[in-house]
Amino acid sequence: MLYTKEVMKHFQHPHNQGVIKDADSVGEAGNPVCGDVMKIYLKIVDKKTGSKTKKVIKDVKFETLGCAAAIAVSSALTDKIKGMEIEKVLKIQKDDIIKDLGGLPPAKIHCSMLGLEALDEALKEYKK
């Protein structure tokens, strides 16, 4: 099983790692029994463009316990959504993350789901 250069870069120096103390929303996915847990913190603001107001992810941080793929997914996903409108965030698929990482070994595809599930949880909580 070999990881791509992109995965290794994120693994060695993950971006957006940490917590947001006054986060607007927090989502968690995974389970230590399965080996992977990811927690995602979001800071969301209103952004005016002309007459429209859109929700935008101003800041994002993650905490992850897991393998190299889980850490790389956390880093790449948070990179991707930082500054993005929520409408667009909702359209992100696991293949988008895998593409950003230059691919994942077949046994690790489920790790890309973990990131999206944590993000999904965070957005669900925000809507509440």
> Which residues are at the interface with other proteins (CB under 8 A)?
1, 3, 11-12, 14, 17, 28, 32-39, 63-71, 107
> For residues 104 and 7, what is the distance between their CA atoms, to the nearest angstrom?
8
Write down the least CB distance from residue 127 to other proteins, Å.
22
Write down the least CB distance from residue 98 to other proteins, Å.
17
Instruction: Sort strands 36-49 and 25-31 into parallel, antiparallel or unpaired.
Output: antiparallel
Q: In this complex, which beta carbon is closest to other proteins, that of residue 74 or of residue 80?
A: 74
> For residues 16 and 63, what is the distance between their CA atoms, to the nearest angstrom?
9
Q: Are 66 and 111 in contact (CB under 8 A)?
A: yes
Q: In this complex, which beta carbon is closest to other proteins, that of residue 56 or of residue 71?
A: 71
Write down the least CB distance from residue 12 to other proteins, Å.
7
